[in-house]
Each structure stands twice: as C-alpha cells, then as structure tokens.
Amino acid sequence: MNESEKLFEKAKTLIPGGVNSPVRAFRAVGGSPLFIKSAKGPYIYDEDGRQYIELINSWGPMILGHAFEPVEKAVRDAIQYSFSFGAPTRKEVEMAELITQMVPSVEKVRMVNSGTEATMAAIRVARGFTGRDKIIKFEGCYHGHGDSFLIAAGSGAMTMGVPDSPGVTKATAADTLTAPYNDLAAVEVLLANNQNQIAAIILEPVVGNMGCVLPEPGFLEGIRTLCDKNGVLLIFDEVMTGFRLAKGGAQERFNIVPDLTTMGKIIGGGMPVGAYGGRAEIMNIVSPAGPVYQAGTLSGNPIAMSAGLAMLHYLNEHPDVYSRLEEVGNKLTDGFRSALLKTGLNYTINHVGSMFTLFMTERPVTNFSEAKSCDLPLFGRYFHAMLNRGVYLAPSQFESLFLSTALTDELVEQIIQANEESLTEAITT
Ligand code: PMP
C-alpha cells in the first residue's frame, strides 16, 4: 500500500467514507483517493511525492495557480496580527469596496464562510424581502448542502446518486420547485401555478456542477424577464463563475443583472470564505440593518480577507489574466477536439473561458438528464489513464474542470497529449 492508500484505510475508520466532502472519495471513478501534501503553481503533490498537473484547482479558486506569491505573502503578513477577532476590521471594508467595484450589481455585500452559507442566506433574504416562501432551482445545479438545495442537486449529490437527500423534511422540500436547466417554458409553468408564492429563482449562470453546461442563448435573459414580470428575485450563484469567467463574473460576461449574487471560495483565494450581496434596497433588510437574521463568528476572518483581497486586487489590476485564461481554455479544448476527431469519437465538449467538461456522450449536454446519459465506466477508465499520466482531473463526470494562469503552453501540450493517449486507452480496455 502506498501512503495515500494507508491514510485512506485509516481515514475510513475515523471519518464517514474517509473524506470530509463526498466527491473526494473517488467513488465514481474507483480506486483510492490521492492524499495531497502540497501544491505550487500548476502542480499538486501527493503524500507519495508524486506530481500532477492540476485541473481542479481546489474546485475553482486557484485562478492564479497554487500558493500564488502575492496571496501567500498577504497571509504571512496578516498572521502576525492574530487570526480572528470577531470584530469589524479595515480589511472587511476594503473587501466590500472591491467586490462592489468588480461586480456592479452588488451594492452591498455580507461575508460568510462558505458557498453553502452564502446561498442559504441569499434565499432567506429573498424570502424576507418578498414575503414569499417558495424558490425555483434547476435540476443538476448545486448550491451547497443547505436543506432547500438538496433537491435534484448536482455535484457530489449527483455523483453519489442522492440528488434528493434523506434528512431534508418534506415541508422544506415542498418549498423548492425544480425545472430542467435551459427550459424557460417549464419555469413559466411553475410561475403560473404558484402565483405570488415564488420568492426567488436561483441558478448557476454557467453550471459547473453537472459538468460544465452553458446557458443557451436567451435563457438567462428569459429568466430575468420572467422574474421581473412576476416580482421574483433572481439569484446568480457565482461561487464557481465569479471573478473567473470575467472580472465581474458570468453576469458581466452574459450582460445580465441579477438581484442577488452568491460568491464563494474564490474571494478567499482558497481560504474558507463566501459572500452574498446585491441591490442595497434588498441587502438593507439583513440584520442589524433590518430584520432578516444572519451572523457568523468567523465571518470576515482577517486571514481569509487578506488572502482574498490579495487575489481580487491582482485580478482587478491585471486584465491580461482573463485573456490568458481564454487562450489556455481555447488551446486545450481545441487539442481535445482534435483528439476526438482522430479517435473517431463524437463526444461532447462544453467550454466557456477557463471552465470545460469532456462528456462521454455523443448527445449535446444542455441539462441534467442529458448529462446523465454519459458512459460513466468509460469516464472512470479515462480518469485513471489521465492520473497515470500525471494529470489530476475532477474524479467525476459531473464536474467542470478549472484552468489557471499557471498553465504554460508546454503544460497545455502535455495535457493534450495525455488526453489523446488516455482516450485511446479508455476505449480499448
Ligand atoms: N454554489 C456553487 C455553484 C458551488 O459550486 C458550490 C460548491 N462547489 C457551492 C455553492 C457550495 O460552496 P461550499 O462548498 O463552499 O459550501
């Protein structure tokens, strides 16, 4: 047994399934998960000292690669002033100012500790603001593990085959209505059948959590119009897309203004952080400005704020980051497409900017049921073939890959090569 395998065996006796978040367990792809010791730039290293090229990047936040020097330095500098005060700090004000500059639909923002907290708070605020109880979410979108969202949920819930989790009460589940992604007509029906009852529509403006799925032209615009017509708040969950698909997130890229936005891991530069924000009129109902309660001892934690501020300042001041991410995304997916042509496979690649997924299906993938048509055993073989060639992919078909500016052209070529060999291996074994 290697070190990772030994650790996993022990972990399983101490932690449910041996991991602190389900997808990490490699259940969907088989085998034993890598236990990670360190990461730097484009590489991640396991407990056995093996090096891999990173295409997960902590599920999104490492836009600039691992342990990016300005972020590392900011954390080192901050540590000498202690680690948590549970009191207001200058950095929180700077963070709020920077977020509101970069994402103009966000006029006021509240920091929390995870994406899950951000989405839970956002729907509470939407309910408090509208005085309505129900929400609409889309099948296969993942918004963290709050009870209201574990209904037709994507990501790990989809990978583990439990999109509707036991433990969520029937009453809670009844307040979450679901529609297929990209299906405006289905949303119209839900709105018509639940008039004056829907507080919010929440969605990933580009889905990362059933694999990468793009909004079809007109979908986001249509949802915005339906929200306006029906007095429903539109919540963009930009935990994955925020500050990644553009400086101002997917809302800037697709030019749609949501009422509320949720953000996550990226604004902590990899530290445990989340945030929600939106129009001042709406955010002013949050306690202590207003009656909707939401709080957190570690919210706005000074170390996390320092990491996040360093990261966001860098993104804000270096537009070349975004052109490089586009370039890397285009080069990689072009390379993947030519491998598909060469191998005669007609599989689907969904791609936007620095997010993409190779789906093991010949169908276009625009929603949850299409994503589920993938050949999952084939994906498992492909995943391990890539891992053996030193490329670390998300261990599930139902996740997007995330690129970073740390990927050089040379590494991009290596990944393309590994992909072609892995595809060939996966289809012939
Ligand atoms: N929303 C989206 C779109 C996400 O992708 C995630 C997690 N990947 C979450 C919310 C939950 O964030 P966290 O895992 O930080 O609770």
Q: What is the pLDDT of residues 288-297, one digit of tens each?
A: 999 999 999 9
Can you give the residue range of the structural domain that contains 57? 3-67+319-428
Cα distance between residue 388 and residue 237, in whole Å: 34
pLDDT band at 429 (very low <50, low <70, confident <90, very high): confident
Best residue among 143, 150, 236, 243 to mutate for probing ligand 1's pocket (most ligand atoms within 8 Å of CB) is 143
| Ligand 1 near 258 CB (within 6 A) | no
| Domain endpoint, select from 264, 293, 317 | 317
Per-residue model confidence (pLDDT) at position 157: 80
Q: How many domains does the chain have?
A: 2
Cα distance between residue 168 and residue 138, in whole Å: 18
Cα distance between residue 155 and residue 159, in whole Å: 6
Answer yes or no: is pLDDT of 159 > 90. Answer: no
CA-angle at 350, arms to 346 and 352, nearest 5° = 145
Per-residue model confidence (pLDDT) at position 59: 95
| Domain endpoint, select from 250, 285, 317 | 317
Q: Please give the residue that has the higher pLDDT: either 94 or 158.
A: 94
Residues 140 and 230 in one domain: yes
Q: Which atom of ligand 1 is nearest to the CA of 60?
A: 8
Answer yes or no: is pLDDT of 161 > 90. Answer: no
pLDDT band at 88 (very low <50, low <70, confident <90, very high): very high
Q: Which of 261, 207, 201 is nearest to 225 (CA)?
A: 201
Residues 119 and 10 in one domain: no
Residues 93 and 55 in one domain: no
Residues 336 and 313 in one domain: no
Q: Are strands 43-46 and 51-54 parallel, antiparallel or unpaired?
A: antiparallel
pLDDT band at 164 (very low <50, low <70, confident <90, very high): confident
Ligand 1 centroid to Cα of residue 262, in Å, is 9
pLDDT band at 374 (very low <50, low <70, confident <90, very high): very high
Which residues are CB-contacts of 399 (< 8 A; sequence separation ≥ 6)? 23, 59, 155, 159, 208, 209, 211, 357
| Ligand 1 near 144 CB (within 6 A) | yes
CATH number of the domain to which 14 belongs: 3.90.1150.10
Decide: 98 and 90 in contact? Cβ < 8 Å: no
In terms of DSSP H, where are the helices of 137-218?
A: 155-159, 170-174, 184-193
CATH number of the domain to which 234 belongs: 3.40.640.10
| Ligand 1 near 209 CB (within 6 A) | yes
Answer yes or no: is pLDDT of 318 > 80. Answer: yes
Q: Which atom of ligand 1 is nearest to the CA of 21?
A: 14
Answer yes or no: is pLDDT of 230 > 90. Answer: yes
pLDDT band at 160 (very low <50, low <70, confident <90, very high): confident
Residues 53 and 81 in one domain: no
pLDDT band at 234 (very low <50, low <70, confident <90, very high): very high
Active-site amino acid positions: 142, 237, 265
Per-residue model confidence (pLDDT) at position 156: 82
